[in-house]
């Protein structure tokens, strides 16, 4: 059996915040290598690269294998040991942050359930790569290593979130209610971020993965408005706010996705009851913003 191999890299420029990587390391353990029981003051996640071992927490014991992960929470008494015949090799990342517990919960991890069972080989291979890159970037000691390490850790969390997400529907099946709400929410956010350009509902339907007619029906059921009406509402509400800025009507039109300022003004008047120029002249706080049209 090969001798134990241990390596750890410390974050040279840790920034306190939502999620901060403190250190990352790896170890090929010796048979029956044991850690703890002990309690830490930071979060710690281990990815088992090869071999076997066991993890104990809150009176429970779990046998783990390559591809599995176990998480240690601050203040929790835990211990772990490698198998006598096939000792594990693992990588780990220590971290803390104001959003750490929330992100772990979103990934399906909690103090009562701190184990994530390995998925397909491709997923395990990706996790090995991300853990390795986290350690490498900290070892580099570069000024941006903290940001890169944090990005890798968020990517790792994202993989766990994907694992517990609802599976995609089979062809021809209707999506589950949870999946439908997720996609409609995504469509709403997509419109809120894309209204400034000339988007179409066909484009939204393609991005959402639905036929236009089905998307329109489900969107209206969820919001009370069709996607086209919801997009118009976003644009008109934003245009009203922009009237307080020193922008021409043409500039406001372009800012909310209209190439033709005359068409924009027509839509604005239909929505608000007055044209942009008229409303700017009578609304308190807007009378000073009368830039010359180009």
Whether 117 and 68 have beta carbons less than 8 Å apart is answered as yes
For residues 96 and 104, the answer to whether their CB atoms sit within 8 Å is: no
Ranges of beta strands (E only) in 51-181 are 52-57, 60-65, 69-72, 78-82, 89-96, 115-116
pLDDT at residue number 84: 92
Which residues of the chain fall below pLDDT 50? 1-2, 166, 168-173, 287-294
Confirm if 150 and 21 have CB atoms less than 8 A apart.
yes
The verdict on pTM exceeding 0.85 is no
Q: Whole-angstrom Cα distance, residue 102 to residue 237?
A: 33
**pLDDT value, residue 239:** 94
- Quickly list DSSP for 27-57: EEPPTT-EEEEE--SSEEEEEEEESEEEEEE
């Amino acid at each position: 059996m090969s001798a134990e191999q241990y390596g750890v890299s410390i974050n040279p420029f840790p920034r306190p915040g939502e999620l901060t990587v403190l250190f990352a390391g790896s170890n090929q353990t010796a048979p029956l290598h044991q850690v703890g029981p002990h309690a830490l003051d930071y979060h710690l996640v281990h990815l088992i690269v090869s071999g076997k071992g066991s993890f104990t927490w809150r009176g429970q014991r779990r046998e783990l294998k390559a591809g599995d992960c176990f998480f240690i929470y601050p203040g929790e008494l835990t211990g772990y040991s490698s198998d006598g015949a096939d000792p594990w090799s693992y990588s780990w990342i220590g971290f803390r942050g104001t959003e750490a517990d929330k992100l772990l919960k979103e990934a399906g991890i909690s103090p009562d359930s701190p184990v994530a069972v390995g998925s397909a080989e491709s997923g395990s291979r990706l996790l090995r790569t991300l853990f390795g890159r986290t350690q490498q970037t900290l070892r580099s000691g570069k000024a941006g290593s903290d940001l890169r390490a944090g990005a890798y850790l968020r990517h790792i969390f994202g993989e766990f979130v994907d694992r517990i997400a609802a599976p995609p529907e089979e062809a021809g099946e209707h999506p589950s209610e949870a999946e439908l709400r997720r996609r409609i929410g995504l469509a709403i956010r997509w419109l809120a971020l894309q209204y400034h350009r000339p988007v179409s509902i066909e484009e939204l339907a393609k991005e959402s993965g639905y036929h236009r007619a089905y998307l329109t029906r489900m969107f209206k059921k969820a919001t009370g408005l069709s996607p086209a009406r919801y997009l118009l509402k976003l644009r008109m509400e934003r245009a009203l706010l922009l009237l307080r800025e020193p922008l021409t009507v043409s500039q406001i039109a372009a800012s909310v996705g209209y190439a033709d300022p005359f068409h924009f003004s027509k839509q604005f008047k239909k929505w608000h009851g007055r044209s942009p120029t008229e409303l700017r002249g009578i609304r308190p706080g807007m009378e000073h913003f009368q830039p010359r049209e180009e």
